[in-house]
Structure 1
Amino acid sequence: MTIFRKAYRMLVAASVAHAKWDMEVSHNILSSRKRLIILGICILPIILFSVAIAASDPELPAILGGKKAYSPAFYTPVIFAVSILIGLCAGLVTGCIGAGGGFIITPALMSAGIKGILAVGTDLFHIFAKAIMGTVIHKKLGNVSVGLAIAFLIGSGLGVTGGGVINRALYEANPVLSDTFISVVYVVLLGFLGTYALIDFLRLRKNDAGGDAHGGAPGQSGGLPAKLQRANIPPMIGFDEDLVPGGKKISGLFVAMCGGVVGFAAAIMGVGGGFLTFPMFVYILGVSSFTTVGTDILQIIFTAGYASISQYAIYGFIFYTLAMGMLIGSLFGIQVGALTTKVVKGIYIRGFYATAILAGFVNRIFALPGKLMEMEILNIDPGLAGILTQIGNWLFFIVIGIFAVWVIAKFTSNIKTFRSEA
């Protein structure tokens, strides 16, 4: 049980770290008129071009999928509006809860009728677009360890390639198998995270403890970083010279292995490389938070960029109009959610975190019977499978919708408070 709890706390720390990055880049974009103009220039041609295609060929399918992907992706105003709402809800979760927003995007897209491989590719492209627009690299260059970054990116490149090849191979073999695989990955991850998050929430509620939204970061237990740093396996990479006399050293092999895991997870799930980088650097490799922040920024840009372009975009597995809509919605959702935390108790945020994660879990696990039936693995009535899928979809969107309405209501009712503080 201790091992599972440590794993849970590490995953939560990963989610929190990625949410902090997401909030920072969103603020950087919205606070810069130049970046907003660039965003508008990027989005407008895609929308106009897609509308022209949709108008010229009304026979294009309303739902992407089958054996072929369509590029440029099919577009309707309804699809674009849905993409903005999905981005808005994910942004509200990220901003208000401070974690977990990225977990709901792929399940939400799949529930809206997007094939899993397209959902993953689109989410990665959305993360890449946000990274290159909103990251202020020059402020963090002093934090970057070049050796760590190079070793990590070599590993993440290999991991991304492996994950992308697996996703595409499964899709080419059977699109339903691809959806099933991605759903199973999310069922395992979200089920694990959601269960422990709910247990934490109930325990703290019973003890009437507010606390922060996530319970803090786990400590470096077991001396794993020290053991890895003592292993003299060339090439040895030095880091943290400005923080520790003589600095620290670690084998580039361990750094590359961590990069491989991060890249593989990013390419399979579409959650972005920053999700796992922070806890791996700090709690496994023993790198200081100061150095981790700068190195993580570079790796997010390169990992998400390489994954989205080389593994998905050139094969037609990115829904560009959807990515742009998600970007617009998430930018504003994050800001609203972050402000709302000032007027909401931490214990409630914990509860919503557990609820949002479990909603994604229920959504994917209810979709599995239908997928397994289509693959002729599970003998179940098609009508029942369809009902279960619809129940999972409705529960997911109702839970996330209620959360979004609650956050927006809290925000609008406290606008005067926010203005006075500003």
Structure 2
Amino acid sequence: MMKKLYESIMQASRAHAQWEIKTSLNILKNRKKLLILFVMALPLLIPAMAHAASVLPAVIGGKSAYGPSFFSASTFYGSIAVGVIAGLITGCIGAGGGFVITPALMSLGVKGILAVGTDMFHIFAKAIMGTVLHKKMGNVHYGLALAFVIGSAIGVTGGGQINRALFNFNPVLSDFVISAIYVVLLGFLGFFALGDFFKTRKSASKDSCDAHGGPVGMTSLGVKLQSINLKPMIKFDQDLGGRKISGVFVAVSGAIAGFCASILGVGGGFVTFPMFVYGLGISTATTVGTDIFQIIFSAGYGSITQYALYGYVFYTLAMGCLLGSIFGIQIGAITTMVVPGRQIRAFYAIAILAGFINRLSALPEKLGSMGYITLAPATGALISNLGVWIFFGLVAFFAIWIIGTFIVNLPKLRAQSDPEFKATEGGVSQ
């Protein structure tokens, strides 16, 4: 069961990674979108000015502003680095880059609720700027998508309200809850990924999949839910003989996915996949298309109505993450042409476990400050800082290795893109 859940989350991560790669490429190839990106990036000059002047008036985004845009110069420059790292993971590994953004921003000193809101806004900005035809990413079923979006809006609203309520009650408790959830999620992903890396035998999961990558037939739960005639009924997967499911069940799934996305600041695909494929009996291709189609709606609604309107989005940090991730994704995707897949999987496991250690090490200090455990403030700070250094040390090593590999292999990569070289023996794809 846990293995199936891990595989579902990884399927969702790979689908979202492919969407991010195509989205960023769509932005970089379009002059108008590059111009829009430049205009959107103009506020990035604010941290540079603030760094030089040391003081920034609240009216243009200082710390006391309603919607602050500046935290510190190091935080801003760190957001670009975080975006690059997340982009490299997404582009090179093809999965999981978005999971590190919120924990990384929190490690830079950003409050958990601000990190979540900023991450959601960065996803929304990327989606609205680089939207690609979702038909290319899978079979979009608009009936399922509509029911999902309705449910997602409810879930996103609930998640945002809980995050804000926790923060207003006790900011430390808010950070603790977000960190604890990430500890569970990243620990689960990281240890499974590391286990997969060390396994010598190949998984036989392909033998149990249909042409769409979903399970052969349906699970007993999927069969039971599809047999319930609860209006409105939605027909889908006509190419598989036709199936139908109640829109109520789809909306409930959307609510759960939206709630998780709003709490954590990431796409809800890691929840959508197991619920759709194993719970509702929807094929993987339809799940991919439906989930990616709704990103712009759920991320936009959540980031604006649940976080931005309450001042919980750092716009300059969001733009820093966006710029860094767009270019990091391209470098990572190109580098896969010259990097062995086994090494890439190893670094993915290490990067995710680094995030796990980072958030785990932050918990003692927060428990101590709330009085739940007896811990000297200096000791708690030491443990937390150690986790921060381990996290950034490991991901920095990963980033330097990928970028270095990219630079060293530039001649080979250029040669592989040359039509004349491809016609020769030296241009045969590896």
The answer, yes or no, to whether TM exceeds 0.5 is: yes
1:195-254 C-alpha deviation (Å, 9 max, x unpaired): 1111111123xx5x699xxxx97745634433322222222111233x244x32111111
Q: Find the counterpart in structure 1 of residue 246 from structure 2.
A: 251
Q: 1:273–1:303: 8 Å Cα contact kept in structure 2?
A: no
Report deviation, 1:181.
0.3
1:89 corresponding residue in structure 2: 85
- For 2:189, the equivalent position in structure 1 comes to 193
Equivalent position of 1:390 in the other structure: 385
Partner of residue 402 from structure 1, selected from 380, 383, 397: 397
**Alignment-derived partner of residue 11 in structure 1:** 9
- Name the counterpart of 1:47: 44
Change (3 A) 1:53 1:84: closer
Offset, 1:140: 5.5
Q: Structure 2 unaligned segments of length 5 or more: list them.
A: 418-430
> What's the offset of the Cα at 1:331?
0.4
Aligned counterpart, 1:158? 154
* Cα RMSD (Å): 2.6
Indicate which of 79, 87, 109 corresponds to 2:75.
79
Confirm or deny: 8 A CA contact 1:89 1:330 kept in the other structure: yes
- In the alignment, what sits opposite 1:301? 296
Q: Secondary structure at the match of 2:336?
A: helix
Q: Please tell me whether residue 351 in structure 1 is matched to residue 351 in structure 2.
A: no
For 1:31, the equivalent position in structure 2 comes to 29
Residues 376/70 of structure 1: CA separation in 2 closer, same or farther (3 Å cut): farther
Within-5 A mapping of 1:121-160: 121-137=117-133, 143-160=139-156
Equivalent position of 1:325 in the other structure: 320
The answer as to 2:370 corresponding to 1:372 is no
Amino acid at match of 1:379: T
Moved more, 219-228 or 22-31: 219-228
2:255 maps to amino acid: G
Pairing partner for 1:228 from 196, 200, 225? 225
**Are 1:336 and 2:331 counterparts?**
yes
Worse-superposed segment, 177-186 or 147-156: 147-156
| 1:27 to 1:415, Cα distance in 2 relative to 1, 3 A | same
Q: How far apart are the structure 2 equivalents of 1:71 and 1:30?
A: 29
Matching residue of 2:310: 315
Residue 73 of structure 1, CA deviation: 2.3
Equivalent residues of 1:51, 1:76 under 8 A apart: no
Q: 1:39-87: CA deviations, max 9, x gaps? A: 111121x234566677494597xxx99xx87523225543332111110
| Amino acid corresponding to residue 27 of structure 2 in structure 1 | I
1:311 to 1:402, Cα distance in 2 relative to 1, 3 A: same
- Greater shift, 265-274 or 73-82, is seen at 73-82
Instruction: Verify: 1:240 aligned to 2:237, yes or no.
Output: yes
- Once the two structures are superposed, what CA deviation does each residue of 1:131-177 show, in whole Å capped at 9, x if it has no partner? 01111247569943222111111110111011001100000000000
Q: Give me the whole-angstrom Cα distance separating, in 2, the residues matched to 1:58 and 1:32.
A: 34
Mapped to 2, the partners of 1:203 and 1:291 lie a distance apart of: 31
User: For 2:310 and 2:330, how far apart are their aligned partners in 1?
Assistant: 34
Query: Residue by residue, what CA displacement relative to the aligned partner does 1:250-297 show, whole Å, maximum 9, x if unpaired?
Result: 111110111011100110000123444345433433333443344223
Amino acid in structure 2 at the alignment position of 1:9: E
Letter in 2 for 1:405: I
Hey, what's the Cα distance between the residues in 2 that align with 1:277 and 1:20? 17
Which letter does structure 1 place at the counterpart of 2:93? I
Q: Which amino acid aligns with 1:341?
A: T
Query: Structure 2: how far apart are the matches of 1:218 and 1:181?
Result: 33
In structure 2, C-alpha distance between the alignment counterparts of 1:232 and 1:267, rounded to whole Å: 31
Measured in 2, the distance between the counterparts of 1:367 and 1:124 equals 22
TM-score (norm 1): 0.89
> Within the alignment, does 1:184 sit opposite 2:180 as a pair?
yes
Contact kept, 8 Å, 1:51 with 1:75, in 2: the verdict is no
Amino acid aligned to 1:335: Q
Q: Evaluate the alpha carbon distance shift between residue 69 and residue 163 of structure 1 in structure 2; reply closer, same or farther with a 3 A threshold.
A: farther
- Which of 348, 357, 361 aligns to 1:362? It is 357
The CA deviation string for residues 66-125 of structure 1, in whole angstroms up to 9 with x for no partner, is xx8752322554333211111000100111111111111111000000000000000000
Q: Which consecutive unaligned segments of at least 5 residues does structure 1 have?
A: none
Q: Measure, in 2, the Cα distance between the counterparts of 1:210 and 1:297.
A: 27
Contact kept, 8 Å, 1:151 with 1:253, in 2: the verdict is: yes
Over 3 Å counting, the alpha-carbon distance change for 1:141 and 1:82 in structure 2 is closer
Bigger shift: residues 125-134 or 149-158: 149-158
Q: State the one-letter code of the partner of 2:35.
A: I
Superposed displacement of residue 302, structure 1: 0.4
Secondary structure at 1:342 match in 2? coil
Give the TM-score taking structure 2 as reference length: 0.87
Question: AA paired with 1:97?
Answer: I
Aligned-residue offset at 1:387: 0.9
Residues in 2 aligned to 1:223 and 1:196: alpha-carbon distance in whole angstroms: 26
**Alignment partner of 1:343: what SS?**
coil
Give the aligned partner of residue 292 of structure 1.
Answer: 287
Counterparts in 2 of 1:69 and 1:110: CA distance versus 1, 3 Å? farther
State the alpha-carbon separation in 1 of the partners of residues 316 and 135 from structure 2: 31
Equivalent residue pairs, number: 406
